[in-house]
Amino acid sequence: MNANSTKPNLNWRGIDLITTAILAAALGVAFWGFDVFVYPITSTIGNIYPPLTELQLGVWIIPAVLGAVLVRKPGAALYAELIAATLELLLGGNPWSWTILVSGACQAAGVEIIFGLVRYRRFNVGLAMAGAALSAVFEVFYEYVSWVPDYSLTQKLVYMVCGVISAAVISGFGGWWLVRALGKAGVINAFAAGREARKAANS
């Protein structure tokens, strides 16, 4: 359903910018709830074996996938992810403080690269999962340097695998699914992604 041979319009409309910004902010609010109410619990449990906490990584990559799959333009993943991260920073209550922005850039990079490689012409769930997984790789490398430099090689590997699986499932599949659900609800008819989702739902 996503195959499209015509050249896509890659210029940002006003509604692209505004919808992405407000959706990212809404996700930022959801993350803030996650940071404050869920993360302390899961990461305490995770202290039994810390690399397992990386199974949550995907939650934070959702805006990148959502932005890219909804808007289908270069920079959408980065734009959405940075806004969500800024919001999380301004609300406070998370252990990463402002470096959440560095993470945000890493978490969008993979998604941007994968959709850039197909020149913003296909936006299927497979590409979304691949993009999210690549983003996880970037993020985990950044964490190797700043957060877990002393882990042994084996532990670093486990850490990476957990992060990549989480990203592919939660943000890759989850982000793609959210856009489709928005499309079925009929609230993103102004976007090609929304019109395609509705056509698929009606047929």
Partner 1 sequence: MTLDVQNLRVTPFGADSAVLDGVTFSLKQGEKALLLGPSGAGKSTLMLAISGVLQQLETADVAGTLVAASSGLLLQNATDSAICDTVYRDVAFGAESAGVARLSIAGLVEAALDAVGLGELDKGRNPQTLSGGELQRMCLAGLLALKPRLLLLDEPTSYLDDESAAEVRDAVSEYLRMSGATALIAEHIFEAWLPLVDKIFVLDASGRLVAAGDTDEVLKRSGRQLADWGMWVAGGDPLHSLVTTAETGGHITALVGRSGSGKTTWLNQYLRSSLETAPVGGVGWLPQNPANTLTGNTVLESLTATALALGEDPKLTQQGGQEWLRRMGLEGMRNRNPHELSGGETRRLALASAFMHKPGLVYLDEPTVGLDTLSWKNVVDAILEAKHSGARIYLATHDAQLLKLADEVITLEPKSAPIAQATKPQLFSPLAMFAASALTLAGALAFRSVSAAALALFAEAILMALAMWLVPSLRRFGLLWPMAFGVASVGFSNWWLSDAHSVEAAALVAIRVAFFGLPGLLLAAAASPSELGDQLGQKLRIPARPVVAAMVGLNRVHRLRGNWASLAFVRKVRLVAKKGLAEYWSLILFSLIEATRSAESTAIAMESRGFSAKDATGKPVPRTWAIEATWGKLDLLLLAAAAGCVALGLFGL
CB atoms within 10 A of CB 93: 13
* φ/ψ (deg, to 5) at 174: -60, -45
* Residue span binding partner 1 (CB under 8 A) among the ranges 94-102, 105-113, 123-131, 160-168: 94-102
User: Which of 4, 29, 121, 122 is the binder for partner 1 (CB under 8 A)?
Assistant: 29
Say whether residue 90 binds partner 1 (CB under 8 A): yes
* φ/ψ (deg, to 5) at 75: 90, -10
How many chain residues touch partner 1 (CB under 8 A)? Answer: 69
Q: Buried b / exposed e across 10-20, counting CB within 10 Å, b at 16+?
A: eeeeeebeebb
* Residue span binding partner 1 (CB under 8 A) among the ranges 18-26, 105-113, 116-124, 133-141: 18-26
Q: Which residue type, as a one-letter code, is found at position 42? A: T
User: Which of 2, 94, 122, 125 is the binder for partner 1 (CB under 8 A)?
Assistant: 94
Task: Give start and end residues of each alpha helix (H) in the chain.
Answer: 14-33, 39-46, 57-71, 76-91, 100-117, 125-146, 153-166, 174-184, 192-202
**Residue among 167 and 178 whose Cβ is closer to partner 1:** 178
The DSSP 8-state label assigned to residue 99 in this structure reads G
Minimum distance, C-beta of residue 194 to partner 1, in the bound complex (Å): 8
User: Which of 21, 113, 125, 165 is the binder for partner 1 (CB under 8 A)?
Assistant: 21
* φ/ψ (deg, to 5) at 151: -55, 145
Binding site for partner 1 (CB under 8 A): 12-15, 17-30, 32-36, 38, 40, 43, 47, 50-51, 79, 82-83, 86-87, 89-99, 102, 145-152, 155, 178, 181-182, 184-190, 194-195, 198-199
